[in-house]
Structure 1
Amino acid sequence: MTSETPKESTDTPLVTRQDHDGYVTLILSNPARRNALSSAMMSALHDAFDEIASSPDIRCVILAADGPVFCAGHDLKEMGCISDCEQHARLFAQCSQLMMRIVTLPQPVIARVRGMATAAGCQLVASCDLAVAAATAKFATPGVNIGLFCSTPMVALSRNIARKHAMRMLLTGDPVPAQMAFSMGLVSDVVDDADLEPATDALAAGIAARSGMTVRLGKQAFYKQLEMPLSDAYDYASGVMTTNMQKHDAREGIGAFVEKRHPEWRHE
Structure 2
Amino acid sequence: MTTNNLNAEPIVLANNNAQGILRLTMNNPARRNALSEAMLTQLSQALNDAAENPAVRVIVVAANGPVFCAGHDLKELTLGRQDADNGRDYFGKIMSMCSTTMQAIVNNPKPVIAEVSGVATAAGCQLVASCDLAYASDSAVFSTPGVNIGLFCSTPMVALSRNIANKHAMEMLLTGDMISAQRAAETGLINRIADASELTTTVMDVAGKIAAKSSKTLAIGKQAFYQQREQSLSQAYDFCADVMVENMLAKDAEEGINAFIEKRAPQWSDQ
How many residue pairs get aligned? The number is 265
Residue 44 (structure 1) aligns with:
42
For 2:79 and 2:142, the matched residues in 1 are separated by 26
Residue 166 (structure 1) aligns with:
169
Deviation at 1:23, TM superposition (A): 1.4
For 2:11 and 2:267, the matched residues in 1 are separated by 38
Deviation at 1:11, TM superposition (A): 5.2
Residue 57 (structure 1) aligns with:
55
Deviation at 1:57, TM superposition (A): 2.2
Residue 211 (structure 2) aligns with:
208
**1:126-205 equivalence runs, <5 A:** 126-205=129-208
Q: Structure 1 stretches of 5 or more lacking a match?
A: none
For 2:24 and 2:204, the matched residues in 1 are separated by 12
For 1:23 and 1:32, the matched residues in 2 are separated by 27
Cα deviation code 1:102-147 (max 9, x no counterpart): 1001101000001100000000000000001111100000001111
Equivalent of residue 13 in structure 1, options 7, 10, 15: 10
Find out whether 1:222 has 2:203 as its counterpart: no
Cα deviation code 1:60-111 (max 9, x no counterpart): 1000001110000000100111122111111111111110111001101000
Checking the alignment, whether the CA contact within 8 Å between 1:22 and 1:209 is kept in structure 2 is no
Q: TM-score, length-normalised on structure 2? A: 0.95
For 2:172 and 2:8, the matched residues in 1 are separated by 37
Q: Structure 2 stretches of 5 or more lacking a match?
A: 82-86
Cα deviation code 1:211-231 (max 9, x no counterpart): 110001000000000000110
For 1:101 and 1:48, the matched residues in 2 are separated by 10
Residue 95 (structure 1) aligns with:
98
Q: Which amino acid aligns with 2:261?
A: V
Checking the alignment, whether the CA contact within 8 Å between 2:6 and 2:38 is kept in structure 1 is no
Deviation at 1:4, TM superposition (A): 5.8
Deviation at 1:181, TM superposition (A): 0.4
Checking the alignment, whether the CA contact within 8 Å between 2:6 and 2:37 is kept in structure 1 is no
Residue 257 (structure 2) aligns with:
254
Q: Which amino acid aligns with 2:164?
A: I
Q: Which amino acid aligns with 2:151?
A: L
Checking the alignment, whether the CA contact within 8 Å between 1:37 and 1:120 is kept in structure 2 is yes
For 2:218 and 2:170, the matched residues in 1 are separated by 32
Checking the alignment, whether the CA contact within 8 Å between 1:126 and 1:186 is kept in structure 2 is yes
The RMSD of aligned alpha carbons is 1.2
Residue 84 (structure 2) aligns with:
none
Residue 112 (structure 1) aligns with:
115
